Structure 1
Amino acid sequence: MPTTQKTLLFLSGFVTSLGSVVVICSILGTQEWVTSTIVFTDAISNGTIVITYGLFRGMSAQDLNEGLQDLDKNFEVLGTLGNSSQKSLHLVAVIFLILSLGASVLSSVFTFYNSISNPYQTFLGPMGVYTWNGLSASFVFLTMLLFVGNTESNHLSEELSQKLYPDTVNKRTTHTYGYSFWLILLVILLNIVTVVIIIFYQKARYQQKQEQRKPLEYAPRDGILF
């Protein structure tokens, strides 16, 4: 059976790993990734289009300076994009986030297993926890980079606008990233905290081993021989 110290530390790691799972699920399920305000003109009017969306769903609204504006629209992101480079990059970002979720789930399993068992010398021990948290942080960071690149450089919002309002001509776009996007940083922080907890455990374990060796190292040689 593991010591009380090990149980408490690995249970703490389990809590932070489980926290990252919950946060990633929230990121996947919410739509507040980015809000894009697009200034446009068409044949009879001009104004702005405001598009707010996440990885799967979004909503758009028009604000016209004159003329009759369309009703607010709810849309599916991947379905609206059709076959385009924006869709491909967006799909890769979704896949990386799902991989991050899987790695966080495995980190939760490993930390909980270590709190009730002693698989220290195998991959099921701290090395496995380090691996899954490193992968989770890497995958979620790649998701962040891909989404920003797709939005800023590959004009994801403008492509969505053109699909939703094909008769408009986009003039200028500004982006504001929402809480769903910034929660990615919380996932990375939770991954780091999990790793730090396990490093603290390994350091404490090493110090305990060193203290157990000291009585033998400083004992009289005759006593050791006896």
Structure 2
Amino acid sequence: MPNQQKKVIFCMAGVLSFACALGVTAAIGTQQWLSGTILCKTGALLVNATEEELQKFIGKVQFGLFHGQWVRQCGLGSRPFRFSFFPDLLNIIPASIHISVLLFSAALAVFALVETGFFMFNAFGNPYEALHGPLGLYLWSFISCSCGCLVLILFSAEVKIHHLSEKITNYKEGGFMFQTHSEQFGKSFWIIFACTLVRLLNIFLIRLAGFQFPFSKSKDSETSGTIDLMY
């Protein structure tokens, strides 16, 4: 492939990586990771609420990685509450998983920036055959993709397996019991998902530029003691 086309492909991949870094950074600070509805089970059982009356006992919850809010509905009107994960809820939520989600989200943003630099260096600089060349592009794309996958898996496990919404809404609720009525992942979660797919796309863009996957190199290829410029 001509060098000019390689530069165009690497520039496009670099722009996508930079956009992902900005998107992930913005997603970390929002409350739009998950939204749902919460049923006041105690209140509904007390009045033996029917399907029509049940709406008076269904509140809403929305949260991100740092803070959130929920609206309590127990038949006597709505009462909004705001909460923060740090340090208020660390003793009731799976703290290790939640902190891991934060760390891998931050790592995803950092590695996306590193990946941007590598792509731009390969487009306009003189990359070397070592980690400055295609091997480095494959490496950072794979690391970024792995971080994105871990964020998605860990947050999904925290919400679905550990029932995060119920733990939040039942915090310091002595007389009432709340249970999840419905849940859906928010925009920030899907931003992470899209950025993870972009990491995979970048891997195929590298291959489109004419560079073989690292594991597909021929065993008979000779190794040299010196590092040569790629182009």
- Does the alignment reach a TM-score above 0.5? yes
Larger mean Cα displacement after TM superposition, 145-154 or 33-42: 33-42
Map 1:83-122; keep pairs closer than 5 Å. Answer: 83-122=91-130
Are 1:73 and 2:73 counterparts?
no
Aligned partner of 1:152 among 123, 146, 160: 160
Residue by residue over 1:47-69, the C-alpha shift from the partner in whole angstroms, topping out at 9 and shown as x without a partner, is: 2231100111211112232x354
Are 1:49 and 2:49 counterparts?
no
What residue is the counterpart of 1:187 in the other structure? 195
Larger radius of gyration: 1
Amino acid at match of 1:49: G
Shift of 1:83: 2.2
Shift of 1:85: 4.8
Distance 1:203 1:88, change over 3 A: closer
Larger mean Cα displacement after TM superposition, 51-60 or 171-180: 171-180
CA distance in 1, matches of 2:41, 2:7: 63
Q: Residue 34 of structure 2 contacts residue 185 of structure 2 at CA under 8 Å; is this kept in 1?
A: yes
Name structure 1 gaps, 5 residues minimum. Answer: 205-226
CA distance in 1, matches of 2:97, 2:39: 25
Amino acid at match of 1:26: A
Distance 1:35 1:165, change over 3 A: farther
CA distance in 2, matches of 1:124, 1:197: 17
Shift of 1:192: 1.7
Q: Superposition RMSD on alpha carbons, in Å?
A: 2.3
Map 1:139-218; keep pairs closer than 5 Å. Answer: 139-163=147-171, 165-203=173-211
What residue is the counterpart of 1:30 in the other structure? 30
Q: Which structure shows the higher helix fraction?
A: 1
Q: Residue 166 of structure 2 contacts residue 180 of structure 2 at CA under 8 Å; is this kept in 1?
A: no
TM-score by length of 1: 0.80
CA distance in 2, matches of 1:82, 1:171: 20
Distance 1:164 1:49, change over 3 A: farther
Amino acid at match of 1:55: L
Amino acid at match of 2:64: G
Q: Residue 53 of structure 1 contacts residue 77 of structure 1 at CA under 8 Å; is this kept in 2?
A: no
Shift of 1:174: 2.2
Name structure 2 gaps, 5 residues minimum. Answer: 48-55, 213-231
What is the aligned residue count?
A: 201
Q: Residue 19 of structure 1 contacts residue 190 of structure 1 at CA under 8 Å; is this kept in 2?
A: no
Shift of 1:164: 5.9
CA distance in 1, matches of 2:174, 2:148: 33
Aligned-partner SS, 1:32: coil
Shift of 1:125: 1.0
Aligned-partner SS, 2:94: helix
TM-score by length of 2: 0.78
Map 1:54-65; keep pairs closer than 5 Å. Answer: 54-65=64-75
